[in-house]
Structure 1
Amino acid sequence: MTTRTLVVTGGHGILGKAVVKAALANGLNVALIDHASGEAAPNGALEIGGVDLTDPGATEAAITQVVERFGGIDALLNIAGGFVWQTTDDARPAWDKMFALNLTTALNASRAALPHLKASTEGRIVNVGANGALKAGAGMGAYGASKSAVHRLTEALAEELKNTSVTVNAVLPSILDTPQNRKDMPDADPAKWVRPSDLAEVMLFLASPASRSITGALIPVTGKV
């Protein structure tokens, strides 16, 4: 059996690292693509740093490097993104920034990877949406809108690809248990949050052949909040 190849965007982030670690532990070929550069990648992973995923050309060049190394791509996990809490009347609106980091990166990576995913017998795209985008609270307008756009991209792509091997789904996490979130919310109970390693397992299932009957799904991963 040919070893499956996964591409993880945002692979140097906390969730990205959890996904890369779990994928390697499962014996998969892993390529991580990130804007950051110079950070060591786990043994066995192909690290492609310094990539501006908001640039279609740079994104396509990175995907080409993956194909040259592994011979193809079976799954794309779009984790690259960002978060800003900001009220609508802020003097420096972050709406364009949020759409660039959360939507444009996923769109560019998906477009670049699609020819290779279609060539796989079990192609997969797994996006990261947000539970907070289902109903945005105060300060969540820009972020929530950009993640809602990721939800719509997921649904549209799933419909467009129904006659291919490729499925497209998204996970909708709530609060991830990260050092920054613990710092920002010292009075909260992080035991109720979502551990990155747990979210990684859900994403890897959606990236696997076993998920072939699921497409266009927006799957809440919300811990016990």
Structure 2
Amino acid sequence: MTADTSDHTAVLMTGAAGALGHAVVDEFLGAGRPVVALDRPGERLDALGTREGVHPVPVDLGSRAAVQAAFAAVDALPVEPAALVCLAGGFTPGALADVDEAMLGSLFGSNFGAVLWCVQAAAPRFAARGGGAVVTVGSKTAVTGPGPVAHATSKAAVVRLTSLLADELRPQRIRVNAVLPSVIDTPANRTWMSPDLASRAVAPSAIAKVIAFLCGPDSSPVSGAAIPVYGDA
């Protein structure tokens, strides 16, 4: 299959103001692709919005109505998005005994719900322009090994959602793929990582290159994939 995701069309991105988000923004801007940054309102989004080529749109990604309103605001921007990168999400550690209603609701809302609402809003817009690409973020723990119960399960739901959406949206020339990170080498993670783990953690810039590839024309045959980006971490 093919999708119209030319090298200079805009990219919608949730979680753009985070550590991985900054690396992904850098990757796209460096390739000449503007970024529409969909994130919670605040100083980090405001600061990101001062960069040339970045269009900040504050939104509560856990609310379907808020996401629909945000995409209506995107329609008024002087850009033509052809890709959606869903980086936003939450993390809470916890074994089986630690899971309660609040934790479960929060993680499924931030990890699964935010992706669902954004793809739901983006898909008809991409279809109207002839196609597009979506990249979601699962996790290594979603598919293998031990992990925090609620978080890993919510990410597993994202991976399965990716597969379902790839099948449903294929006739509209919309490709949907997931990347599966583990421990990412960020300043926040460095505060708790052992030296050994820090030496194996994956640089955000390396993950950004995979995401950019999945949003570009060279990956036109790829849809429904869950791509490990966790290296040795």
Aligned to 2:69: 61
Match of 1:124 among 119, 126, 133: 133
1:200 aligns with 2:208: yes
SS at match of 1:184: coil
Q: Relative contact order, CA 8 A, sep 6+: which one is greater?
A: 2
CA distance in 2, matches of 1:88, 1:14: 29
Q: Distance in 2 between matches of 1:81 and 1:164?
A: 27
What are the ranges of 5 or more consecutive residues in structure 1 without an aligned counterpart?
Answer: none
Amino acid corresponding to residue 72 of structure 1 in structure 2: E
Verify the 8 A CA contact 1:130 1:174 in the aligned structure 2: yes
- TM-score, normalization by structure 2: 0.90
Task: Give SS of 1:8's match.
Answer: strand
Contact preservation (8 Å) 2:28, 2:35 = yes
> What SS does structure 2 have at the residue aligned with 1:152?
helix
Question: Which residue does 2:3 correspond to in 1?
Answer: none
Contact 1:78 1:128 in 2 (8 A): yes
Give 3-state SS (helix, strand or coil) of 1:168's partner: strand
Aligned sequence identity (%): 36
Q: 1:22 maps to which residue?
A: 27
Give the AA of the match of 2:194: P
- The answer for the alignment partner of 2:112 in structure 1 is 103
- Range 56-65 or range 179-188, more displaced: 179-188
- The partner residue of 1:113 within 122, 135, 151 is 122
The structure with the greater share of residues assigned to helix is 2
TM-score by length of 1: 0.93
In structure 2, stretches of 5+ residues that fail to align are 1-5
Q: 1:163 to 1:90 in 2, by over 3 A?
A: same
Does the aligned pair in 2 maintain the 1:66–1:72 contact within 8 Å? no
Q: Report how many aligned residue pairs link the two structures.
A: 223
Query: How big is each residue's C-alpha offset from its partner over 1:148-204, in whole Å with a ceiling of 9 and x where there is no partner?
Result: 000010000000012111100000011100112211123434232111111011001
The 8 Å contact of residues 11 and 84 in structure 2, kept in 1 or not, is answered as yes
